[in-house]
């Protein structure tokens, strides 16, 4: 045995002395016996410490001590017993069984721990065979209301849905959910090439069926009638039909009895909105695209009171005129949400409440793309969420003022994405007031006339404006902000904050907690945003600003000064710095943020595809309360990846780049969740 291969077991064996001097043989035997007793005492202490560590959930350290026992006394069952017990305490019964088996093979039957190894192995095997099915033991209402909603309810034709194949009990419980299942086919010309058996097998429980194929045949609707008797949600996203109007409408009528939700686009010639509605009288939700939306005037008894959600996209070019929109809306008195693109005349905004009194969510010229759920309530009146515009739409300022004034008591969120037309207006905005331009105003009831009383948007908490020209929207924004006492979040373009006028108005919002600034700085004039940040810096711990999202240009050399100001915000909890390049000369500002933003909990840097210069992460590692860090972009230098280990309280790390395996292992050892999307 060489000095490089020293074995504890060899050191503790009785030494065979072939030659001795005097009484050395006895002394060697005594020394060896002392070593053996010391080793026994040492492993006894190690075993006790491993037990205590395991009880304290320090499992890795406990396993280390157990491994040391095995190394010192490989012929004893103690090390194997200790390690197996730690595995059992972790719930890793299969690993424990394997360890007990190794101990039974390594230790002789005469070993004092041999019998314990047998007993503990039997217990571990029993526990390993136990299957606690919580789904079947819990009350049905708990499963349906608390567990099932947290799991994916969609089934796809190209894969099996795991929860339905665990056991019969699981399958029964999942199929009992009141909202049913949602089945998706993929982009295949042969619709039933895959997934057909699964669709038929669980058909009675499907409530939704979605097609995403290039071609759809009417005979498939007949299949759905026979196979999915409880179908209530049908969605087709197709590009061509091989059917004529008659067979298509007849097919819809076959499934109309249970159908309440329909999403469909690109139709046979001659199919219009009225044809769909007349064929499916139980619809509560309808979304159509590229369809003729003109509905002939009908008696009030012929309207569609069941329809609560209506989405009409790419309806015509030009969009429906004012009178056509009035006729359309009058057919849907129970609407809760309405979407239409492109944007019809803004004059319709003035009279929406007359025809759709329960309307609460409006996307006028826009689609519902945001993932945030907005709940509507059947018995509530007045609009709460309004998205106005989208693209190059033009909205008359007077129409906007009238619309906002009418819904001042209900609006919670407003999004403007349209050019504001101030030509031929009869009102003008002066700070927080609406004043007439001329001597004669259009006759309005006092409750509808914004010049008669000051507005108060008591429920409004969120304002977004995408118009890049502040000259057109500044007056409207000023009026809104000054009359919104509970404003919490704003999203603006850089152009609104290059000058100080609007920024000064924003400082009067005493509850503003979130600001997002989009787009490119055009003139690199930071007067407005600088003044706003300095206002909140001066407030110190009384500042309400907790979340800041800022888009930065790479060419902004003065951006360092702007970022340095951010470092002095005492109450900032969330910061996003979005840029396609995070340059090295920002390092002093990052160092200031690392030392100054002591309340910061969430930090996002760059964007997907961004470039990073080296040495920019290390200056941030002193942030004492940072829990979540997201870095979007190309591979980070190794020095920056290793610096991530030094963040004291980091719980979640999102990286959008390749990380070497060695460094990834180090990151996962220090950070609970490391995610690479």
From CA 171, how far away is CA 159, in angstroms rounded?
A: 16
Q: What is the pTM of this model?
A: 0.71
What is residue 576's three-state secondary structure? strand
- Strand residues in 195-336 grouped as ranges (E): 206-211, 215-216, 233-237, 240-241, 261-265, 285-289, 309-313
From CA 654, how far away is CA 676, in angstroms rounded?
A: 6
pLDDT level of residue 508 (50, 70, 90 thresholds): very high
Contact 207, 231 (CB under 8 A): yes
Tokens of 25: 């043989």
Does pLDDT of 128 surpass 90? no
Does pLDDT of 365 surpass 70? yes
The pLDDT value recorded for residue 444 is 62
Q: H or E element: which one contains 46?
A: helix 24-55
Does pLDDT of 257 surpass 80? no
Between strands 215-216 and 240-241, the pairing is parallel
What is the pLDDT of the chain when averaged over all its residues? 81
Does pLDDT of 218 surpass 80? no
Least confident range of 268-277, 466-475, 568-577 = 268-277
Distance set, CA 306 to CA 303, 325, 354 (Å)? 9, 19, 18
User: Could you tell me which residues come within 8 angstroms of residue 543 by beta carbon, excluding any fewer than 6 positions away?
Assistant: 536, 537, 569, 570, 571
The pLDDT value recorded for residue 265 is 72
Does pLDDT of 217 surpass 70? no
Out of 128-137, 413-422, 430-439, the most confident range is: 413-422
pLDDT level of residue 621 (50, 70, 90 thresholds): very high
Does pLDDT of 666 surpass 60? yes
pLDDT level of residue 191 (50, 70, 90 thresholds): very low
What is residue 286's three-state secondary structure? strand
* pLDDT over 90, % of the chain: 40
Q: Which residue, 565, 568, 636, 573, is CA-closest to 606?
A: 636
The pLDDT value recorded for residue 372 is 62
Tokens of 315: 């309806």
Sign of the Cα pseudo-torsion (254, 256, 262, 268, in order): positive
Q: Where is pLDDT greater, at 204 or 460?
A: 460
Across residues 557-585, what is the average pLDDT? 89
The pLDDT value recorded for residue 258 is 74
Cα atoms in the Cβ-side hemisphere of radius 13 Å centred on 52? 6
What is residue 261's three-state secondary structure? strand
Across residues 466-486, what is the average pLDDT? 89
Q: Is 540 left (phi over 0), alpha (psi -120 to 50) or beta?
A: left
3-state secondary structure 344-413: CCHHHHHCHHHHCCCCCEEEECCCCCCCCCCCCCCCCCCCCEEEEEEEEEEEEHHHHHHHHHHCCCCCCE
The pLDDT value recorded for residue 526 is 73
From CA 123, how far away is CA 115, in angstroms rounded?
A: 13
The pLDDT value recorded for residue 525 is 64
What is residue 191's three-state secondary structure? helix
The pLDDT value recorded for residue 203 is 54
Q: Where is pLDDT greater, at 248 or 223?
A: 248
The pLDDT value recorded for residue 533 is 95
Q: Which residue, 545, 422, 418, 407, is CA-closest to 480?
A: 407
Q: H or E element: which one contains 39?
A: helix 24-55
Does pLDDT of 580 surpass 50? yes
Backbone angles phi, psi at 475, to 5 degrees: -65, -40
From CA 407, how far away is CA 351, in angstroms rounded?
A: 11
Contact 602, 628 (CB under 8 A): yes
Q: Which residue has the tokens 């329809």?
A: 307
Does pLDDT of 460 surpass 60? yes
pLDDT level of residue 26 (50, 70, 90 thresholds): low
Across residues 347-359, what is the average pLDDT? 95
Q: Where is pLDDT greater, at 4 or 650?
A: 650
The pLDDT value recorded for residue 144 is 74
Tokens of 116: 């314990």
From CA 547, how far away is CA 540, in angstroms rounded?
A: 15
The pLDDT value recorded for residue 174 is 72
Across residues 14-35, what is the average pLDDT? 63
The pLDDT tens digits of the residues spanning 281-339 come to 989 999 888 776 666 555 555 689 999 999 998 887 778 899 999 999 999 999 999 99
Contact 448, 405 (CB under 8 A): yes
């Amino acid at each position: 045995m060489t000095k490089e291969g020293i074995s504890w077991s060899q050191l503790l064996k009785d030494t065979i002395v072939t030659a001795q001097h005097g009484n050395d043989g006895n002394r060697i035997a005594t020394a060896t016996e002392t070593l053996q007793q010391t080793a026994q005492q040492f492993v006894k202490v190690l075993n006790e410490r491993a037990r205590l560590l395991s009880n304290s959930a320090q499992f890795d350290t406990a396993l280390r001590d157990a491994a040391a026992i095995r190394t010192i006394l490989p012929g004893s069952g103690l090390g194997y017993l200790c390690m197996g017990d730690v595995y059992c305490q972790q719930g890793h019964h299969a690993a424990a069984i394997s360890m007990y088996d190794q101990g039974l093979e390594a230790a002789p039957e005469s070993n004092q721990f041999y019998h314990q190894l047998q007993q503990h192995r039997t217990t571990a095997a029993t526990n390993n065979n136990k299957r606690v099915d919580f789904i079947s033991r819990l009350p049905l209402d708990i499963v349906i209301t608390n567990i099932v909603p947290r799991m994916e309810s969609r089934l796809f034709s190209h894969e099996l849905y795991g929860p339905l194949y665990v056991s019969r009990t699981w399958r029964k419980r999942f199929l009992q959910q009141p909202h049913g299942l949602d089945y998706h086919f993929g982009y295949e010309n042969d619709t039933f090439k895959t997934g057909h058996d699964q669709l038929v097998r669980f058909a009675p429980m499907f409530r939704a069926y979605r097609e995403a194929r290039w071609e759809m045949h009417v005979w498939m609707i007949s299949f759905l009638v026979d196979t999915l008797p409880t179908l209530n949600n049908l969605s087709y996203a197709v590009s061509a039909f091989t059917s004529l109007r008659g067979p298509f409408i007849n097919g819809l009528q076959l499934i109309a009895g249970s159908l309440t939700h329909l999403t469909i686009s690109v139709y046979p010639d001659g199919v219009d909105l009225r044809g769909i509605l007349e064929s499916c009288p139980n619809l509560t939700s309808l979304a159509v695209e590229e369809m003729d939306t003109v509905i002939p005037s009908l008696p009030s008894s012929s309207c569609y009171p069941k329809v609560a959600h209506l989405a009409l996209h790419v309806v015509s070019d030009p969009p429906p005129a004012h009178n056509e929109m009035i006729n359309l809306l009058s057919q849907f008195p129970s609407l809760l949400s309405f979407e239409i693109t492109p944007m019809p005349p803004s004059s319709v905004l003035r009279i929406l409440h007359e025809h759709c009194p329960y309307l609460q969510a409006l996307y006028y010229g826009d689609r519902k793309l945001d993932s945030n759920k907005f709940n509507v309530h059947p018995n509530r009146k007045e609009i709460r969420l309004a998205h106005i515009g989208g693209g190059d739409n033009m909205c008359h300022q007077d129409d906007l003022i009238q619309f906002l004034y009418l819904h001042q008591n209900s609006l919670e969120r407003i999004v403007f994405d349209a050019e504001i037309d101030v030509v031929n207006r009869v009102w003008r905005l002066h700070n927080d007031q609406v004043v007439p331009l001329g001597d004669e105003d259009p006759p309005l009831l006092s409750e509808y006339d914004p010049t008669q009383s000051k507005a108060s948007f008591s429920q409004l908490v969120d304002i977004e404006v995408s118009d890049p020209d502040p000259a057109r929207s500044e007056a409207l924004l000023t009026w809104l902000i000054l009359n919104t006492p509970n404003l919490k979040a704003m999203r603006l373009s850089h152009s609104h904050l290059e000058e100080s006028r609007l920024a000064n108005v924003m400082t009067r919002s005493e509850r503003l907690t979130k600001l997002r600034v989009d787009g490119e700085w055009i003139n690199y004039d930071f007067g407005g945003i600088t003044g706003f940040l300095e206002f909140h810096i001066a407030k110190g711990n009384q500042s309400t600003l907790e979340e800041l999202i800022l888009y930065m240009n790479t060419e902004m050399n003065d951006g360092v000064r702007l970022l340095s100001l951010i470092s002095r915000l005492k109450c900032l909890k969330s910061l996003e710095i979005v840029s396609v390049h995070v340059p090295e000369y920002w390092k002093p500002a990052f160092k200031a943020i690392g030392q100054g933003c002591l309340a910061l909990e969430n930090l996002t840097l760059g964007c997907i595809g961004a470039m990073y210069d080296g040495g920019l992460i290390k200056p941030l590692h002193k942030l004492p309360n940072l829990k979540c860090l997201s870095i979007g972009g190309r591979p980070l230098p190794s020095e920056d990846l290793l610096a991530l280990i030094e963040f004291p309280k980091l719980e979640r790390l999102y990286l959008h780049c390749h990380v070497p395996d060695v460094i990834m292992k180090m990151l996962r050892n220090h950070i609970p969740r490391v995610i690479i999307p």
